Amino acid sequence: MNRIFNKADYMVEDMLKGFLEANKDIVAPTENPRVLKYKQAPIPGKTGVVTGGGSGHKPAFIGYIGMNLCDAVAAGEIFSSPTAAAFLDAFKAADAGNGVACLYGNYAGDNMNVRIAVRKAKALGITVKTVVANDDCASAPKDQAEKRRGVAGEILMWKVGGAKAAMGADLDQVIAAAQKAIDNTRSVGIGTAPCTIPAVGHPNFIIEDGTMEVGIGHHGEPGIKIEPLKSADGIAEEMLDLILPDLPYVSGDEVVVLLSGLGATPVMEQYIVYKKAAQILEDRGISVYKSYVGNYFTSLDMMGVTLTLMKLDEELKECIDLPVNAVGLKQF
> Residues with catalytic annotation?
57, 219
Which stretch in 10-18, 46-54, 107-115, 244-252 sits in contact with its own copies by CB under 8 A? 10-18
By CB under 8 A, is residue 274 in contact with its own copies? Answer: yes
* Binder of its own copies out of 15, 85, 226, 280 (CB under 8 A): 15
Rg of the chain taking only CA atoms, in angstroms: 19
**Residue pair 123/16 in contact by the 8 Å Cβ criterion:** no
By CB under 8 A, is residue 283 in contact with its own copies? Answer: no
Backbone angles phi, psi at 200, to 5 degrees: -90, -45
Cβ 325 to its own copies shortest distance, Å: 5
By CB under 8 A, is residue 116 in contact with its own copies? Answer: no
Site residues for its own copies, window 200-239 (CB under 8 A)? 207, 209-212, 229, 231-233, 235
Cβ 225 to its own copies shortest distance, Å: 16
By CB under 8 A, is residue 296 in contact with its own copies? Answer: no
By CB under 8 A, is residue 301 in contact with its own copies? Answer: yes
Q: Select 56 or 105, whichever has its Cβ closest to its own copies.
A: 56
Alpha carbons 269 and 272: distance in angstroms, whole number: 5
Q: Which residues contact 141 (CB under 8 A, 6 or more apart)?
A: none
* Binder of its own copies out of 123, 283, 314, 332 (CB under 8 A): 332
Q: Which residues contact 331 (CB under 8 A, 6 or more apart)?
A: 322, 323, 324, 325
Q: Select 193 or 244, whichever has its Cβ closest to its own copies.
A: 193
How many Å is the maximal CA-CA distance in the chain? 55
* Binder of its own copies out of 275, 285, 313, 321 (CB under 8 A): 275
By CB under 8 A, is residue 80 in contact with its own copies? Answer: no
Site mask for its own copies (CB under 8 A), range 16-45, x = bound: xxxx-xxx----------------------
Q: Which residues bind its own copies (CB under 8 A)?
A: 1-6, 11, 14-19, 21-23, 55-56, 58-59, 192-193, 207, 209-212, 229, 231-233, 235, 259, 263-275, 278, 291-293, 295, 298, 300-301, 303-305, 325, 330-332
